[in-house]
Amino acid sequence: MMKAAVFRNPGQPLVVEEVPLPAPGRGAALIRVARCGICGSDLHFTERHAQTAPSGTILGHEYAGEVVALGAGCERLRVGDRVIAMPIWGCGSCGACRADRPIHCIRLRPMLGGFAEYALIGEAVAHRLPALVSFADGALVEPLASALHGVRIADVKAGDHVLVLGAGAIAAGAIFWARRMGAARIVVLARSSTRASLVRHLGADAFIEDAGGDLELVHDVLGGPPDIILECTGASGMIERAIGQVRPMGRVVSLGMCLHRDAFVPATAQAKEIELRFAYAYGARAFRDCLNLFDSGDVAASAMVTGMTDLAGLPETFEAQRAGGSGCKVQLGF
Ligand SMILES: [Zn+2]
Ligand SMILES: [Zn+2]
């Protein structure tokens, strides 16, 4: 048996209880969880809508830990290895997997379960953590990979003026990567200024507190409308605002996850001939690139981890994050 934070029903906090220890099947490994980040999508899956997680689900997909048991057919990993793994375990052979889009794999196995003492991972999507990469940084690879995938879809290039909407973990990662891809100016617009110094540390040039009105101030700071807008809030109405503010022929990429019906006027986008794209998850390449970043000694992104909780405190911390939290990335740690 092991302790885990279990989702029961929307509107109820997670419940820490004893559950059976999962047994690793073919190609899977069991890890003792060392760190697991709380993600906006974990919060989304516990809300009431078409994508609510089934009752009894153990969420948590941003994990790092130590291998304690191996299923049949595992050849690469050893007991005692410090590892991270993509929570997206594709078959490896379908068209989507061959195109490095495992999230669209027809035989996809989502590997959640990180909000527990032990969790299962797929050996094929696991990476050993280099000796100098901490579990905390290892558990940041997953959200950073989501951000990197979105910034690559936005095709941020040297000299681009970028507006980032939001200052949560995905926005923080997007700022980090946009800066490293050579954006000339990065302005962040968010409702609360609590993360202003963090986003500056990650590479933003300016932070503007969003009063909900038009974005003229953004134009002043950028010297004109942005070339690219990265929508990272997932809030209703933001895509419409982005379409209204991006330059003609510019790009709007939605990295936030809006689960509600949302409206915009297509003719506004049409008249400017903008590109509107959506980014979801990542592939093996982005995941590896983010691990290599930490392995190279570039640990600026470590600052995204702003808090920790133990398993007993997780349900309360989880609800605090839902209410807006003040930190960026909070991790479960053992
Ligand atoms: Zn995540
Ligand atoms: Zn596949």
Q: From CA 99, how far away is CA 271, in angstroms rounded?
A: 33
How many angstroms does the Cα of residue 242 sit away from the middle of ligand 2?
A: 34
Between 249 and 258, residue with greater pLDDT: 249
DSSP label of 232: -
How many angstroms does the Cα of residue 213 sit away from the middle of ligand 2?
A: 44
How many angstroms does the Cα of residue 88 sit away from the middle of ligand 2?
A: 10
- For the CA of 59, the nearest ligand: 1
- For the CA of 38, the nearest ligand: 1
The beta-strand segments (E) located in 155-309 are 161-165, 185-190, 206-209, 228-231, 251-254, 275-278, 305-309
| Residues 58/19, Cβ–Cβ less than 8 Å | yes
Residues around ligand 1, an ion, CB closer than 5 A:
39
How many angstroms does the Cα of residue 143 sit away from the middle of ligand 1?
A: 5
Enter the tokens of residue 55: 């009752």
% pLDDT > 70, the chain: 99
CATH code of the domain occupying 147-278 = 3.40.50.720
DSSP 114-162: -SBSEEEEEGGGEEEPPTTS-HHHHTTHHHHHHHHHHHHHTT--TT-EE
Give residue 214's pLDDT. 65
How many angstroms does the Cα of residue 286 sit away from the middle of ligand 1?
A: 14
How many angstroms does the Cα of residue 37 sit away from the middle of ligand 1?
A: 8
How many angstroms does the Cα of residue 100 sit away from the middle of ligand 2?
A: 9
How many angstroms does the Cα of residue 144 sit away from the middle of ligand 1?
A: 9
- For the CA of 168, the nearest ligand: 1
How many angstroms does the Cα of residue 71 sit away from the middle of ligand 2?
A: 20
How many angstroms does the Cα of residue 330 sit away from the middle of ligand 1?
A: 12
Candidate CATH numbers 3.40.640.10, 3.40.50.300, 3.90.180.10, 3.10.560.10; the one for domain 2-144+281-333: 3.90.180.10
Give residue 324's pLDDT. 81
Residues around ligand 2, an ion, CB closer than 5 A:
90-91, 94, 97, 105
Enter the tokens of residue 321: 């994050």
How many angstroms does the Cα of residue 205 sit away from the middle of ligand 1?
A: 26
How many angstroms does the Cα of residue 93 sit away from the middle of ligand 2?
A: 5
Tell how many helices (H) and how many strands (E) occur in the chain: 11, 17
How many angstroms does the Cα of residue 91 sit away from the middle of ligand 2?
A: 4
Q: How far is CA 111 from CA 30, 52, 316, 328, 332, in A?
A: 11, 16, 24, 23, 17
The answer to whether residue 182 scores a pLDDT higher than 80 is yes
How many angstroms does the Cα of residue 197 sit away from the middle of ligand 1?
A: 23
Give residue 3's pLDDT. 98
Average pLDDT for residues 92-115, to the nearest whole number? Answer: 97
Q: What is the pLDDT of residues 260-299, one digit of tens each?
A: 899 999 999 999 999 999 999 999 999 999 999 999 999 9
The answer to whether residue 115 scores a pLDDT higher than 70 is yes
How many angstroms does the Cα of residue 249 sit away from the middle of ligand 1?
A: 31
Q: From CA 162, how far away is CA 106, in angstroms rounded?
A: 35
Q: From CA 139, how far away is CA 151, in angstroms rounded?
A: 20
How many angstroms does the Cα of residue 319 sit away from the middle of ligand 2?
A: 35
Q: How far is CA 176 from CA 167, 170, 180, 312, in A?
A: 12, 10, 6, 32
Q: Position of tokens 């008249």?
A: 271
Average pLDDT for residues 176-202, to the nearest whole number? Answer: 94
Q: What is the pLDDT of residues 234-251, one digit of tens each?
A: 999 999 999 999 999 999
Q: From CA 70, how far away is CA 13, in angstroms rounded?
A: 32
Structural domain boundaries in the chain: 2-144+281-333, 147-278
Q: What is the residue-averaged pLDDT of the chain?
A: 95
- The alpha helices in the chain, defined as continuous H runs, are 40-45, 95-98, 135-138, 141-153, 169-180, 196-202, 216-222, 238-245, 266-272, 284-295, 314-322
Q: From CA 230, how far away is CA 66, in angstroms rounded?
A: 35
The answer to whether residue 81 scores a pLDDT higher than 90 is yes
- For the CA of 94, the nearest ligand: 2
Is the Cα dihedral 108, 113, 119, 125 positive or negative?
Answer: positive
The answer to whether residue 51 scores a pLDDT higher than 90 is no
- For the CA of 106, the nearest ligand: 2
Of the candidate ranges 76-80, 158-162, 220-224, 247-251, the one whose mean pLDDT is the lowest:
220-224
Give residue 213's pLDDT. 67
Give residue 216's pLDDT. 76
| Residues 25/71, Cβ–Cβ less than 8 Å | yes
Average pLDDT for residues 300-310, to the nearest whole number? Answer: 95
Q: What is the pLDDT of residues 23-49, one digit of tens each?
A: 999 999 999 999 999 999 899 999 988
% pLDDT > 90, the chain: 89
Of the candidate ranges 104-113, 148-157, 158-167, 217-226, the one whose mean pLDDT is the lowest:
217-226
Give residue 326's pLDDT. 73
| Residues 187/222, Cβ–Cβ less than 8 Å | yes
